[in-house]
Structure 1
Amino acid sequence: MSTRVPPKSRSVLRRCLSTVAVAATMLGVAGCASSINTSDPYPHAMDFAIQGIDVSKYQGDVDWSAVYNSGVQFAWIKATEGGDYLDEKFRQNWEMARAAGLRRGAYHFIYWCRPAREQAAWFLANVPNDPMALPPVLDVEWNEQSKTCPHHIPREQALETMQIILDAMEQAYGKRPVIYTSVDFHRDVLNGEFMSYPIWVRSVKTYPTVKYGNRRWHFWQHTAQGAVPGVHGYVDRNAFYGSVTDWQNWLQPNPQG
């Protein structure tokens, strides 16, 4: 599938080549920044060439054609949670996003009080094996708001649970899964772990480096209050860490880099 570059992104890339390529290299940024100054040394989320969203049932009925035409190029779609919950909009979003031309992938929200193998089996039973889909995502967070499982499990137990699900996903779909995480869970569990996996980080107040240190990230969820044509109300917005070429390379079979 071809990758479209919105006009804004093309202009950003041109400015990068002439004005900030050296600065971006020094910062270790795979993408480009439209402006770098002494008060804000990091690129802004919308300066990255490849933009995306993530959705669940809470976005209601999404007009995926409008989303695509707005310049959004990828979407993460909630599929499952725990071992018995299927997002009621998953199948609709999964099919309609693909029909509109977006690259999309499915994510599983982990439930720390359910055996890992049951969770993996539930995800595999509900998410089709589409060769054109993005890699599956394992969403790992602490969930103090849960009515049935609000506690934190030991770090080693969390890592073991994750590994079982990640292995099952990779074996079933033939792609290295992406790990989504929040600042506190990364601090408590993931710091220094699963370094060979692509990571999708949540950081709504600062550039990821400020919160995640030198951890290499692939996707940045930078706001929960985004606005995108085709979505009623707020939607999470995300940026891919890289250029158009980086994105095209990452989309190759079994992306791990």
Structure 2
Amino acid sequence: MFLTRRLALLSLLALAACGAPRSSAPPAPAGVIFAPNFSDAHPVDFSGRAPQRYPVQGIDAARFQTSIDWNTARRNGVNFAFLKATEGGDLLDPEFKNHWRDAGHAGVERGAYHFYYFCTSPEDQARWFIRNVPRTKGMLPPVLDMEWNPFSPTCAHVRPPASEVRDQMRRWIRIVESYYGQRPIIYTTPQFYAENGLGSLRGYDFWLRATARNVSEAYPGQSWKFWQYSATGIIPGIVGKVDLNVFNGSRADWTAWLAAHKL
């Protein structure tokens, strides 16, 4: 009996340890930009300007990041975070509400993103995003995550022609922009970008994934605001690996961009 109770107690302690940690650092003052103290489990030797040389860095997070001490992470260079909110027309990321609340309390500049499905109308998906992402003062613009989804049992093989893809994007963006009063950012991958002619979309800020080569090589001639350069980042305050991102500009550029784009 004693052994059974002891094992039960140890199990409870182990479960508690897996939850969100208590912060080991006090909240940092608002507006402070912290230099990145990041490492990478699988670093890439990028040609051109290395991502580590950009002064403003951050992360994106989803259900896979179940344990983040946001105060510690911010002090180690997580100045912004894009947080997964929704997929398709009926999926809510189970960690979104926790990430949204705790990142906000830590003073991390935060925005929410939607993973797009081609088997649900853009109108339904826009309404689902709006239903689950609060219109919060100071939030970054919403993000539309556009990439092929090979894992969905219903949508994996649904790949409309490029003109239809762009039309669906515009329809989702129009609804979401009207509700939040911010033009959404477009996130994409090299393959999706090339196959769907996203370079023809004008007037949007792009967040581009390029983890094997420099973003300027992966998307020739494309302007961008954010570059996702690693999926294997290691940051104090975050348990496990996390995506690493940079903002394209100086600290002054970052401050000016926030002033023009935050809600």
TM-score by length of structure 1 reads 0.84
Alignment correspondent of 1:124 = 130
Q: 1:111 aligns with which of 117, 127, 141?
A: 117
Q: 2:174 aligns with which of 167, 172, 186?
A: 167
Alignment correspondent of 2:220 = 213
Deviation for aligned residue 1:206:
1.0
Alignment correspondent of 1:154 = 161
For residues 93 and 162 of structure 1, the distance between their equivalents in structure 2, rounded to whole angstroms, comes to 26
Alignment correspondent of 2:73 = 67
User: How many residues get paired?
Assistant: 226
Alignment correspondent of 1:133 = 139
Deviation for aligned residue 1:130:
1.1
For residues 62 and 173 of structure 2, the distance between their equivalents in structure 1, rounded to whole angstroms, comes to 21
Which whole-Å deviations, capped at 9, do the CAs of 1:189-216 have from their partners, x for residues lacking one? 1333222100000000111111100100
Which whole-Å deviations, capped at 9, do the CAs of 1:72-99 have from their partners, x for residues lacking one? 1000000000000000110110010000
Greater Cα radius of gyration, structure 1 or 2: 2
Q: 1:186 aligns with which of 174, 182, 193?
A: 193
Alpha-carbon distance change, 161 to 191 in structure 1, aligned in 2, over 3 angstroms: closer
| Residue type of the alignment partner of 2:251 | V
SS at match of 1:220: strand
Deviation for aligned residue 1:154:
1.3
Asked whether the equivalents of residues 226 and 248 of structure 2 are also in contact (C-alpha less than 8 Å), the reply is yes
Alignment correspondent of 1:27 = none
Which structure 1 segments of 5+ residues have no match? 10-38
For residues 43 and 135 of structure 1, the distance between their equivalents in structure 2, rounded to whole angstroms, comes to 26
Which whole-Å deviations, capped at 9, do the CAs of 1:153-211 have from their partners, x for residues lacking one? 11111111111111111111111110000000000113332221000000001111111
- Aligned residues: CA RMSD: 1.8
1:49-64 map, 5 Å: 49-64=55-70
Alignment correspondent of 2:32 = 4
Asked whether the equivalents of residues 47 and 214 of structure 2 are also in contact (C-alpha less than 8 Å), the reply is no
For residues 215 and 162 of structure 1, the distance between their equivalents in structure 2, rounded to whole angstroms, comes to 18
Percent of residue pairs bearing the same amino acid type: 39
- Aligned pair 1:248/2:259, yes or no? no
| Residue type of the alignment partner of 2:62 | S
Asked whether the equivalents of residues 34 and 74 of structure 2 are also in contact (C-alpha less than 8 Å), the reply is no
The 10-residue stretch of structure 1 (152-161 or 104-113) with the greater mean CA deviation from structure 2: 152-161
For residues 8 and 180 of structure 1, the distance between their equivalents in structure 2, rounded to whole angstroms, comes to 22
SS at match of 1:105: strand
Alignment correspondent of 1:80 = 86
| Residue type of the alignment partner of 1:6 | F
Alpha-carbon distance change, 68 to 159 in structure 1, aligned in 2, over 3 angstroms: same
Asked whether the equivalents of residues 76 and 106 of structure 1 are also in contact (C-alpha less than 8 Å), the reply is yes
For residues 105 and 250 of structure 1, the distance between their equivalents in structure 2, rounded to whole angstroms, comes to 14
| Residue type of the alignment partner of 1:3 | G
Alpha-carbon distance change, 8 to 219 in structure 1, aligned in 2, over 3 angstroms: closer
Alpha-carbon distance change, 147 to 172 in structure 1, aligned in 2, over 3 angstroms: same
For residues 147 and 224 of structure 1, the distance between their equivalents in structure 2, rounded to whole angstroms, comes to 24
